[in-house]
Structures are given as C-alpha cells and as structure tokens.
Chain A
Amino acid sequence: MSVLRAPTTAEPAAGTRTGRGRDRAAAPRTARLHRALPGGMWTREWLLSLARPRSVVVKLAMPLVLAVPLVAGHAPTFWAGMLLTVLVAMVGAVGSGVALARARSGGLLARLAVVPRSPARTVGGWVLAAAAVDTVQMLPVAAVVLAAGAADPAAAVALLLCIPAVVLATNALGCALSLLADGPGEVLLDVIVVLAPLLFLGGLFSGVPAAGWRHWAARLDPFAYLHSGFAGALGGSPGVGTGEVIAAALITAALACAGLGLLSRTLLERG
C-alpha cells in the first residue's frame, strides 16, 4: 500500500503558525512517522504500532524475557515448546480481541461499517497487519530458538512458516471472541477459556496419545504443529514431520483468512 507524504509548506495554513514551539517539541523522534499517511487499515495498524517507541521495545522484549531463559537454561524441549506455543497463541488472540472490543465500544467499528469498502478488505487489512506486527514481535524468539537449537534448514522453515500462520489464526480467533465479549476486559477471559482446551487438545500439556480421538483431535489442531515446530527447532523430537508442519501452516493460514472473510461483515456491523 502506498504511503504518501502529508502537505507541508506547499499547502500552508490559512492563518499564521502560532504553534511553532510545539511543532519543534513534537518533531524529533516521531515526526517522520506522523507524516506518513495511512490509506487503509494495513498502514494504519503499522503506524499505530510504531508510533510509541517504548511500546515497540517492550513488545519485542516481552517474548525474549521468556524465551532466553528457557533456551539458555536448556529447558526440556517439550516444555519449552509448550511455553513458546502458549506465548504465540496468547499474543495473537489477546491483541486482536482486545483491539476489536475496544474499537467496538469506542464506535470505530460502527464508523468502519459505513464506509464503501468491503468488510473483508477492511477487516482483512486490519487483522493481517496485526498478525504481521505480532509475527515481527515473535521473530527474535524464533531467532533465539533456531540459533540455540541448531535446527536443520527444513525445521527452521517449518517454524518460520508456522509462527505467522498460528499468529494469524489466533488473531482471527480473537476477533471472533470479541463478538461475544461485552468489553475489552472480558475478551482476555474468553481467550483463556477457549485457548486452554485447544492447547490441551494439541497435546501441549500432556503429549499426544498414539491413538484415539485425542490423537485425531491433535492432528486437526494447529497448536500441535507449532509445538512440534518449536520442539524440533530446539533439537528435540518433534511429534510430527517437518513437511506436515509446513502443510499445516499453509492450511491454517488459508482457513484463518477464509474465517475472517466470513466473519468480517458481522464484526463490523455489530459495531
């Protein structure tokens, strides 16, 4: 999406600029960001995410605070993979769920509902950008894991595909849960209530049985594949093959996009 430059001296104010002092004070760090113009939800979301440098640093540091001790302490790969999978799941679902619930209570969704753009384009741009931001947030974790685990290239590719796919799916899940919640605070509880059983079914808490319904449930659960991807990248024994992780990542991403497309109109019109 194109990012245009705002008018500066070419389109001067009708009156005089009495706020020069404030302009200078506001200018330094974020002046360039504040002049990039968002034409759609994708750019808008990126600008909102990058506008506060402290927030960017905290977002990048938070997953590392968990990942580095796990890797440096040589935690068992099963449990390390579980914690990192839970982290990825929570980051995606909570972020989008809370953002949408807040946007709904603030009237933003109502305003977006009446623009002459397709809901899928609006919601899609928004959630894809949110998922991209979340993926960037998780990339340092992936780098630490891959560096420490000395994973083979295929396992690395599988992990690097599976993280954004699961992030996208959990963002979509967060959007769906925001429809049920009465406010941003409730979304957090709803996310935990829904994610915990899904993580359990993915075998994160107790492993995947070799047969039975839980075995098949795990085969359908994207968290099982991400867990396997982390475990494999950390040098452990993955539950499923690298090829399956890659295929699961692609299918998960496609289903998440389709789900968002189906949900988009409802998401906006419930605003």
Chain B
Amino acid sequence: MSAPAAPVAARAPAVEALAVERRYRGGRGAGPVDLRVERGEVLALMGPNGAGKTTLLRLLASVDRPRRGSLRWFGGGVEVARRSLGLALDSAIEEATLSGMQASYFWCRQWIGDGAVARVAAAEALRDFGLWEVRDEPVAAYSFGMRRRLALAQALAHDPALVLLDEPTAGLDPAGVQALVDALRRRGARGQAGVVASNDPNFTAAAADRVAFLSRGLLVRCAPPAELLAAVSSGRVADLELSPTAPALDPPSVEALPGVERVDLRPGGATVRFRDPALLPRIVAAADHPGGRLRQLRLHEPDLADAFRELTGEELQQEAVR
C-alpha cells in the first residue's frame, strides 16, 4: 500500500504543538499546551470530561485553529498535515445507507488517487477490524461497536503517517480493542505516529508509548505508562460500588485501617488503595457497614486511572468498560 504521507523534514516530529491554546466561553477548551509526538510514537491523552482532550485532538488534527501558539506537522504546515493524517472522531458515522466497503473506500480515496490501490487498502482495513464479512451490508445495519470499528478502519485504511483517534475504544469489544492495539503497534514499528484520546487505562497502557494527563485544559504530566504507574505501583486497588440510598462512606473510617494507603470517594462509590491483601475482609466490612451498603467490589492492580487520581486528585470518567 502506498503511504500518502509526505514528511517534509526527515527528523521533524510527527506533530509539535508550541503553547497552543483554544478556550471557549466559560474557560473550557485546552491550552496553553506544549506537546511533541515523535515518529513511531503513540501518545495517549487522558483526562476527565471537559479536560480538553477532544479540543487538543482537534487542534492536532488541524480541524480547529489555535487562538494562540503554533503547530507543525512533520516540520511543515497544515498542507503537510492534511496529506499525512487519519482521523476518527467520537461522533456517529454519517454514511448509514452506504455499505461498509463503500464508506471505507470513499475515505481511502480522499488520500489515495489510484482507485485499485484504495480498494485493496479499504479491504485490508475492513479485514483488520473484522468487518470483511459484512462489507456489503449498509452501515445502518451495523451495531454500535461495528460502526466504531468502521470509523477506525476508515481512519487507518490509507496508512496515514499520523493518526488521531477520539475515544477509540468506546463501544469496542475486547477483540476490537486488541485489533486496535495491534494496528497501532504495527504502525509504530513502521515509524507512524498516533494520538489517542482515551480514558481506558488498559488500552492506553497497552497501546501508548507516552501518556499525557490533562486537567482543566492543561497538561499536568506526560510520561511513559510505566513511569506514571510507578506512582501507584505498590499494593492493590479495590473499586467499591456503594448503594446510593445508604449513608455515604466515611473515608477516615477506612483510612484508619493499618495498611490502607488512600481512599478516594467518587459518585456512587469509592476507590481504596492498600498494600496487604489480608486487609481486604476488613475493608469490605468497613465499606459494607451499615450492612448492605456495598453492592459490588472489583479488585485490580493499580492502573493509569489510579495514577491519574494520585497525580491530579481528579477522577477519570471512563468511556469503556474496563
């Protein structure tokens, strides 16, 4: 397949943002932010709703222009960006009455001039995302997850040098998430870059080389997943789902237990980080008092959502089931 990108400066990063800023009324938006994504690198943007992930992604995609600051793609301007980009937004696919193959081919042809090459590229992308069997069915007949897969196939089919994906795992089943991780990894090995806005900690840990934590439109921390996880690498995490009708959990009552490192309340529950697994029954007892308050408990190793909480004090809203 012929890659449509035409990087102008061989050593320039895939995308570089210098003090870019775009704020809306009420202060929402993003910036000023400095960001650099190297060739072959996948950067994940994580942050709660309103943190500026989508705003920043749209700036990096040249969909919106920054009010301040500047952006360079492969050392060049917007024209270079548009030859090099693949984009999947979190919005619905418009081509409901087209077939999956038609919709995929259409977007391929926007970058690939040769119809036969575009046809093969579109077919490969549909196969990669498990849509080949339903390629001739109208998109309207696709499930939500299949439409999400199609959006990803459309963004990646023309083999762009830089792909930007907004909430790519929303609605995807585990096989779809794995297909996306594999695709991003394969692309990275070929020197192609990616930026994904996602609050799915397992996906970002698997797919990203670096993770940028955003809060209130600002870049709070940007580092490899392992480095961010080091902040919370010890111990285990219990996600508690509590009855909304029962009295709220009193964090000090749990924090008082020896070995409990941190308790964070969130709507509908709490997250408890602790070191000693033997402590779990006592945590459960404290969370369930008064009886019946605890509705569900999920035990896991600390992940990037926990790291985000640790480093920013904010809770991530996740778009996908972990």
Q: Which residues of chain A have a CB within 8 Å of any CB of chain B?
A: 2, 4, 6-7, 11, 13-15, 17-19, 22-23, 26-27, 30-31, 34-40, 44, 47-48, 51-52, 102-103, 105-108, 110-117, 269, 271
Contacts and interface: CB of A to CB of B under 8 A. Distances in A.
B133 A114 contact: no
B113 to A, nearest CB: 9
A102 B99 contact: no
B134 A22 contact: yes
19 contacts: A6-B102, A11-B120, A13-B127, A13-B133, A14-B127, A22-B134, A26-B136, A31-B136, A34-B99, A34-B102, A34-B137, A38-B98, A38-B105, A44-B98, A106-B92, A114-B63, A114-B81, A115-B82, A116-B110
A105 B94 CA distance: 10
Interface in B59-101: 61-63, 65, 79, 81-83, 85, 87, 89-95, 97-99, 101
Contacts of B62: 113-114
B213 interface: no
B61 A6 contact: no
Given A6-B135, A114-B81, A116-B82, A51 B97 contact: yes
B133 A35 contact: no
A23 B136 contact: yes
Contacts of A22: 134, 137
Most buried by B among A27, A51, A105, A106: A51
A232 B205 CA distance: 72
A22 B81 CA distance: 40
Interface of B: 4, 58, 61-63, 65, 79, 81-83, 85, 87, 89-95, 97-99, 101-102, 105-107, 109-111, 115-116, 118-120, 123, 127, 132-138, 141
Contacts of B136: 6, 23, 26-27, 31, 34-35
Contacts, number: 129
A116 B137 contact: no
Given A26-B141, A106-B92, A117-B110, A36 B133 contact: no
A108 B58 CA distance: 13
A112 to B, nearest CB: 8
A51 B58 CA distance: 32
Contacts of B133: 13, 15, 17-19, 23
Nearest to B81: A114
A104 to B, nearest CB: 10
Given A103-B94, A115-B82, 8 more contacts: A14-B132, A19-B133, A26-B136, A34-B137, A35-B136, A105-B91, A106-B91, A106-B94
B116 A4 contact: yes
Given A4-B115, A51-B98, A34 B123 contact: no
A48 B105 contact: no
Contacts of A39: 105-106, 109, 115, 118
Contacts of B82: 114-116
Contact of A47 (B92, B98, B115): B98
Contacts of B93: 106
A42 B132 CA distance: 25
B98 A107 contact: no
A44 B106 contact: yes
Contacts of A13: 127, 132-133
Contacts of B115: 2, 4, 37, 39
A38 to B, nearest CB: 5
A102 B120 contact: no
Contacts of B61: 110, 114
Contacts of B95: 44, 48
Most buried by A among B62, B92, B110: B110
Nearest to B61: A114
A110 B55 CA distance: 13
